[in-house]
Structure 1
Amino acid sequence: MTCTSWYRRSSTGIRPRSPWLWRCWYGPTTPASPVRPIFCRLSSLVAELLTELFTDRLPESLLVGLGNPLRRDDGVGPYLAEELAKLSGIRSENAGDRPERAIDFAARHRPRQLVFLDAADFGGRPGELRRIDPSELSSRSLSSHRLPLPALIAWIEAEYPTRCFCLGIQAVDMQLGEGLTPAVAATTAELLDWFARRLEMERTPPVTPPA
């Protein structure tokens, strides 16, 4: 199903007891296996999508989180931006509900590609991650976005040698309140896991075969 607008519609959902992200948990192990944490299993679909999108080295990209953390799943973009900024080697900024701040971020970082992270409604499964083409976004300014994203993206790409992309996470609950719903929190854990693994891979020098 084609996405036509970023998600800004209230819906009902079950509120988790703990605020923000639901942390990864330690799962049961068999007696014959070592006790180790189950660290956010990465689905093949998420890994494939991110690998296709981030063809350059991660330091050459800039990730910008959009959304309002006081509206449950709408805070997924800001949360991801702040968590990714803690990883050395990733440039990440939190624009909140002011996407026009991405203009300043692009001028400061001059990235080869800029990726917006936001809650979205494309009729997918709760927490589903999907790349959304800028041409498929609504040209109308939404309630928590003062500037239409298509216009913003067109301006940045015309002003800088930067490609812009949008990653949307299917939201479940956009009502007032803090904390992500379980499905969206699980997707954020997968995303953070993928970026951490990708950074580790990029830092590992290639193995030179013996002469």
Structure 2
Amino acid sequence: MRKATAPALWVTVDQVGVGRYQVRFPLAASLNGVAHVTTVDNAPRWWQVVSNVAAGPDHMVIVQCYRPGGVPDNARFVVDYTSASGMLPPGSDAFGYVRANPVGAMRSSYNSIGAGNAVTQLGTGFYEVKLNGLGTALLDGNLQATAEHPFNPRRCKIAQWSPLRLPAEFALRRVDQLQLRRWGQQHRGLRRRAVPGDTAVGGCSGEHRAGHRARHQPGLLQPADTVGAVR
């Protein structure tokens, strides 16, 4: 979608500090969504979500970039915010997400077949997430994890992914800038997209078909990108 076509649906990006950007997704406010941010840079950098809140009819996501050592730095990124409801028809692609607090309590959750998801804290910075009914016997689809913390540098990654039974299971592990496992006031969200169920172990944020995405480089929102549109 081009800005000239529907300017009211154009995602806006404002830099509010070194490596920190405020991204407004118009007409996307939700209490059950998740945000993901990904680095687009050849240099070693990582991004995390600082906050993810509704702002009137819009949704506001603030993201932060760090270089090694936990030092704020500017870099390019892709960010999306997604919120889902209802179920997909049988035979269509399956997907789900969770957003959880540091002890594994879910703040947002979606499962496209209507089954419940689950998050279990296995240890310091280590979590198991089950997206029930979304796995297959293969490692198909994809997983994405994004750390969320309002103050301190945090990173999350997928540590393990098991497709051995219908729940999609995966493990999430959170590491700080020194690659040490630590526990903090971090929120995690996690996304799984596949053909039909799974389990994984690791820690971070989520997705949706009717989501919004923006690609950004310092000082410029890329005009050729799809933003504020159904994907």
TM-score under structure 2 length normalisation = 0.29
Higher helix proportion (structure 1 or 2): 1
Greater radius of gyration (CA): 1
Higher strand proportion (structure 1 or 2): 2
